[in-house]
Structure 1
Amino acid sequence: MRAGALVAAGAFASALTMAASGIAAAEPAGDITVDGTYLVNIDIKPGIYIGDGTPDPATGGCFWRRLWKIQTPEDYPDPNYYIIASDFVRTKPVTVEIKATDVGFSTQNCGAWHLTDAKPNTGSAG
């Protein structure tokens, strides 16, 4: 009986270890469907995104931010310190290039964002 209990305990411990180790994280998404702050290369893929824009430009606008750090309570208190680039727009659609070197992307009242296969603008005409 004792050997059977040890086998059962060992099987339980193995199952618990496997469950606690977790499952590999899902691939980063190419769509952003709700307002929030997202980690680049973890939550979302880098690239050029087109957003639907604010649902009602008369009552508010779309505010997005590319971030070099996600602010924590222990960090420098000015949230603007962590912004690489940002914009507040009332026009539709909205376009932003999220770079692989960005740490985060924050969106408020912009509607859904969708990753495109557009190439970044190099500023060159040819």
Structure 2
Amino acid sequence: MSQQKQRNWFARHKVLTGVGAVVAVIAIGGAVGSGGGSDDKSSTSATTQDAAKKADTPKKAEAKKAAKPKGLGGDGSYEVGSDIKPGTYVSSGNKDGCYWERAKDASGSPDAITANDNVTGTSYVTVAAGDKIFKTSGCKDWQLVDPKATGTPKSTLRGAGGMFKVGVDIAPGTYKSMGNTDDKCYWERAKDASHGMDSIAANDNVTGTAIVTIDAGDAYFKSNGCQDWVKTG
């Protein structure tokens, strides 16, 4: 992939203008009779138990398979509507080298790119129904986000953690990050995870101390290259 395509579509680090398993319980009964040898009963019971275990094994495997979260690999191109369905996806634990791209066609040209980003840490991205291709390279697996999912919002967060969902990953409030150098700290308050320019409520590149109020109405907070953030109010 060319450097031109790998570059963040929205000029990252540049201030932008604009706002268990289902278990089948098998009852194994041993009829107690007045006659018959104990060896026969033991043999019958063992055979029944063995059959029950064999019958149970594929059911457990099937249940585990069904319980596995739906997602997609961190490398490859996926056709929206057939390979993946529209929705918001999350990929966590990424090091340098994770790149994703939403595209309006499969031409591979820069003009086809609707949005893209280079990711460190966590990224959320909403794949729209109008997208044709979602491309990902060097990323951890992507999981479809349950819109009703809840979490335990934190009042501290890693300054290089990527994206945080407000109300789930991070609590609203005023946060401070101190000791940032050389304009390498970039933060962004976002209205959604589409990564368009219209998604940005506010952003900044920071040297020194950064203070930002994350509103309850914000959808996400993004932080790259910053010192850790601590809630102060």
TM-score scaled by length of structure 2: 0.37
SS class of match (1:5)? helix
> What's the counterpart of residue 191 of structure 2?
68
Query: Moved runs in structure 1, 4+ residues, more than 2 A?
Result: 1-8, 19-22, 59-62
Rounded Cα–Cα distance in structure 2 between residues aligned with 1:26 and 1:5: 43
1:11-90 aligned at under 5 Å gives the runs 13=60, 16=63, 20=67, 26-35=151-160, 36-54=162-180, 56=181, 59-71=182-194, 79-90=196-207
Partner Cα separation in structure 2 for residue 80 and residue 90 of structure 1: 23
**Structure 1 unpaired stretches of 5+:** 73-78, 119-126
Write the deviation string for residues 46-78 of structure 1: whole angstroms up to 9, x where unpaired.
111111241x2xx32422110001126xxxxxx
Q: In the aligned structure 1, how far is the partner of 2:51 from the partner of 2:156? A: 50
In our comparison, the structure showing a higher alpha carbon Rg is 2
Cα distance in 1 between the residues matched to 2:159 and 2:216: 21
CA RMSD for the aligned pairs?
Answer: 3.0
Show structure 2 runs of 5+ residues with no match. 1-46, 70-148
* Residues 67 and 53 of structure 1, relative CA distance in 2, 3 Å threshold: farther
Q: Aligned residue for 2:219?
A: 103
Instruction: Report % sequence identity.
Output: 27
Aligned residues: 103
Larger strand proportion, structure 1 or 2?
2
Q: Which amino acid aligns with 2:222?
A: S
